Amino acid sequence: MATPLSITIIISAGLSGVVSYVTSRLSQTNQRLLERQTYRVAMLAEIRGLHQRLVEYEFTFSERVLTGQVTSAQVLQVLLQSGDMVVYNNHASSIGLFDRRTALRIVRFYAGIRNLQGRAIVLAEMAAAPGPGGGDEDMQKHLEHVRRLRRRAGLLIRRLRRTRLSLFRTLLFRARGY
């Protein structure tokens, strides 16, 4: 029994629409995964750079400032350079590409960095002003804040690296059809 031409056309149009929709969704999913991977790698590189800068700053601060070899005003003013947080500043709207827990940790880390910068500026102004400068207690608190941020950066680096590997496995399994 032959099917009428109009039913064949309707069925093929419906099938074509379904296949087009599924293909579009798969393409969007793959594009989002690639964006997430690219942003994750860029964020990982930036946080590694900030971690290294915090390690150097902590060493300089504890070895030279607390021992009196260099004035605190000189060291406090060179905590971060202008290009150290370019990825976060330019792509903060892409933070939603991460899961909630990772996104929250990233935002907290950068808030801590901003707080540390503000603290360093205040301590530098106190040290440069005539009269009693920043006390040892303030300097110790500042050093402890630097250490806390350095540890947080290390944990964040491990988390981003681990998630990157699981994302790679996901893409690999999808490519193989598992």
% residues pLDDT > 90 (the chain): 24
For the chain, what is the mean pLDDT? 82
Is the model's pLDDT at 9 over the cut of 80? yes
Nearest-angstrom CA–CA distance, 48 and 91: 17
Is the model's pLDDT at 48 over the cut of 90? yes
The mean pLDDT of 145-153, rounded to a whole number, is 93
Among 96, 97, 89, 85, residue whose Cα is nearest residue 37: 97
CA distances (Å), 132 to each of 59, 72, 95, 141, in order?
25, 13, 43, 17
pLDDT at 169: 63
Q: Return the ∠ at Cα 47 (arms to 43 and 53), rounded to 5°.
A: 150
pLDDT at 149: 94
How far apart are the two ends of the chain, measured CA to CA in Å? 40
Is the model's pLDDT at 130 over the cut of 80? no
Q: What is the pLDDT of residues 65-93, one digit of tens each?
A: 767 777 766 777 667 777 888 898 888 88
pLDDT at 104: 92
The mean pLDDT of 114-131, rounded to a whole number, is 81
Is the model's pLDDT at 1 over the cut of 70? no
% residues pLDDT > 70 (the chain): 82
DSSP 37-50: HHHHHHHHHHHHHH
Give all domains of the chain, ordered by start, each with its CATH number: 19-176 (1.20.120)
> What 3-state DSSP class applies to 144?
helix
pLDDT at 26: 87
The mean pLDDT of 28-33, rounded to a whole number, is 85
Amino acid at 45: A
pLDDT tier, 154 (very low <50, low <70, confident <90, very high otherwise): very high
Q: pTM of the full predicted structure?
A: 0.73
